[in-house]
Amino acid sequence: MEKQYNLSKNQKIILNLIVKSTEPLKAYSILYNVQKKGIKAPLQVYRALDKLVEIGKIHKIESRNAFIACQNSSCQISKATAFSICESCEKVSEISNSKLSKYLSNFTDEAGMKYNKYNLEFFGLCKKCKTS
């Protein structure tokens, strides 16, 4: 059974914006976009972002300091994330590949250590940018 979260007002506003966006959003760009809705300060944005990341509704693209909505139906996979990033147009997609996630979730290093979380970012050129 999936745990239910009742998102707060700010969390809903910000999640909505991110879900509607076709590209990763940066914190201050989010701020500018929600100021008319009463969210005035960076901290209000960062707090909502932190929570949304924590519950897996969004992910942070670390190399870009930007946030995208989780593409997985269940949004439970905040501990095992993989993205493809186009180095030309900056398009970002979440990769859902069960083989990959199994491989990485089960990965054991030389010292026999397993990890409870990972984040993987692939870089290259997307179809569009490759042909143009």
Residues 99-128 that bind DNA (CB under 7 A): none
Handedness of CA 37, 43, 49, 50 (dihedral sign): negative
Residues 13-42 that bind DNA (CB under 7 A): 26-29, 38-42
Q: Please pick, from the candidates 37, 102, 103, 128, the single residue that binds a second copy as defined by CB under 8 A.
A: 103
Helix/strand/coil (H/E/C) assignment for every residue in 40-68: CCHHHHHHHHHHHHHCCCEEEECCCCEEE
Q: In this structure, are residues 56 and 77 in contact, taking their beta carbons and an 8 Å threshold?
A: yes
**Interaction between residue 22 and a second copy (CB under 8 A):** no
Q: What residue 35 binds from a second copy, DNA, none (CB within 5 to 8 A, per partner kind)?
A: none
The secondary element (H helix, E strand) that includes residue 84 is strand 80-86
Amino acid identity of residue 112, one-letter, is G
Q: What residue 39 binds from a second copy, DNA, none (CB within 5 to 8 A, per partner kind)?
A: DNA
**Interaction between residue 131 and DNA (CB under 7 A):** no
- Contacts to DNA by CB under 7 A: 6, 8-11, 26-29, 38-44, 46-48, 50-51, 65
